Amino acid sequence: MKKNDIIKLDIDAMSSQGSGIGRYEGLAVFVPMSAVGDSLRVKILKVKSNCAFGKIEEILTPSVTRCEPDCTAFSRCGGCVYRHISYGEELSIKQKAVEDAIKRIGKADLDAQPIVSNNKTYGYRNKAQYPISENYSVGFFASHSHRIVESEDCRLQPTIFADICEIFTMWAKESGNSVYSEETHKGLLRHLYIRKGEVTGEIMVCLVINGNSINSPETLVEALKDKLGDCFKTLVLNINKEKTNVILSDKCVNIYGDGYIYDILCGVKVRLSPLSFYQVNHDMAELLYKKAAEYAECDNKTVLDLYCGAGTIGLSMAQSAKKIIGVEIIRQAIDDARFNAENNQINNAEFICGDAKDAAKQLADKNIKPDVIVVDPPRKGCSSELLGTIANDFSPEKLVYVSCDPATLARDTNILNSFGYELKEYTPFDLFPRTAHCETVAKFTRKV
Distance between CA atoms of residues 129 and 194, nearest Å: 7
The residue from 80, 154, 266, 404 that is catalytic is: 404
DSSP 74: T
Distance between CA atoms of residues 202 and 119, nearest Å: 24
C-alpha closest to that of 158 among 121, 202, 126, 197: 126
Distance between CA atoms of residues 202 and 200, nearest Å: 5
The answer to whether residues 91 and 120 touch, using CB atoms and an 8 Å cutoff, is no
SS3 call for 129: strand
Distance between CA atoms of residues 44 and 21, nearest Å: 13
The answer to whether residues 193 and 209 touch, using CB atoms and an 8 Å cutoff, is no
Rg (CA), the chain: 23
C-alpha closest to that of 254 among 232, 238, 270: 238
Bridge partners of 253, per DSSP, are 237
| Strand 139-141 to 39-47 pairing | unpaired
Quote the distance between the C-alpha of residue 205 and its chain's center: 19
Q: Which amino acid type is present at position 153?
A: D
Bridge partners of 44, per DSSP, are 54
The answer to whether residues 140 and 132 touch, using CB atoms and an 8 Å cutoff, is no
DSSP 85: B
Residue 404 annotated as catalytic: yes
SS3 call for 343: helix
The answer to whether residues 5 and 25 touch, using CB atoms and an 8 Å cutoff, is no
Distance between CA atoms of residues 429 and 443, nearest Å: 14
Q: How many CA atoms lie within 13 A of 6 on its CB side?
A: 6
Distance between CA atoms of residues 18 and 438, nearest Å: 11
Catalytic residue positions? 404
